[in-house]
Amino acid sequence: MNHNRDFQIELAELDRSNRKERLLDELLHQYLNLDEDINDKNARSIDLLNLYLSVIRSRNHLRRNWHPMQSIRCNMMVIGLIEKQGGKDKFNKMLDIALININKGDVEEAARVVTKLKEDFNKQFDEGQANIAKTERKHPFKNEIAKCINRLGVCSFDELLECLRSKEGNGVIIKVYEDAVEHKNPEKPNLPNKIRPLNTVRNDLTTALKKFKNK
């Protein structure tokens, strides 16, 4: 099963009733007709690109604080399309011309701005993946839930509990009771076992399923 999200990254029309899209439309047309030298070319280029990316994210119902990794993936896909030489949509072509105009006809400088932004997103993605891995290493119990989901796919709470029961005695899952799960951190054997109520385990499952679906 492919759990990668497909993003809609091409614009057909801009909705001028939307404040963000109206601003993008106005900036694009301002820079398309630009016939004077401007200060802060790099900052203007980055601002335009970030606004363009923000519109695409909004179209895909993504908010960076709620969907950080998905937002970065979406940004990376859009930047890849901006870098592409052919097959661009109308607004992507307009963006190319606007960036070149901002940089006073310097095609290479306009391309460097895009490349720098792409490198920043790649770095953010790598850091995000590292943080996820670091966080997961600190939660052996949640790792066991993730392993169950990887094996079962999208599963019910009862199916998860059955999977956890099959793991009793594996060093993490001690016992699944009617109202809680007893577990421990095998990396810290001197610490007492922990008791996790089933309502908390249910919340753990909901969070883990969201991550699974967004892979």
Cβ count near 59 (within 10 Å):
17
Domain locations along the chain: 19-137, 140-213
d(CA 51, CA 55): 6
Instruction: Encode pLDDT of 12-29 as tens digits.
Output: 889 999 999 999 999 999
Q: CB–CB of 187/143 below 8 Å? A: no
Q: CB–CB of 82/17 below 8 Å? A: no
* Exposure of 21 in the CB half-sphere (CA atoms within 13 A): 14
Range scoring the smallest mean pLDDT among 6-15, 27-36, 124-133: 124-133
d(CA 45, CA 64): 21
Instruction: Encode pLDDT of 48-72 as tens digits.
Output: 999 999 999 999 998 887 788 888 8
pTM above 0.85, yes or no: no
Q: CB–CB of 3/213 below 8 Å? A: yes
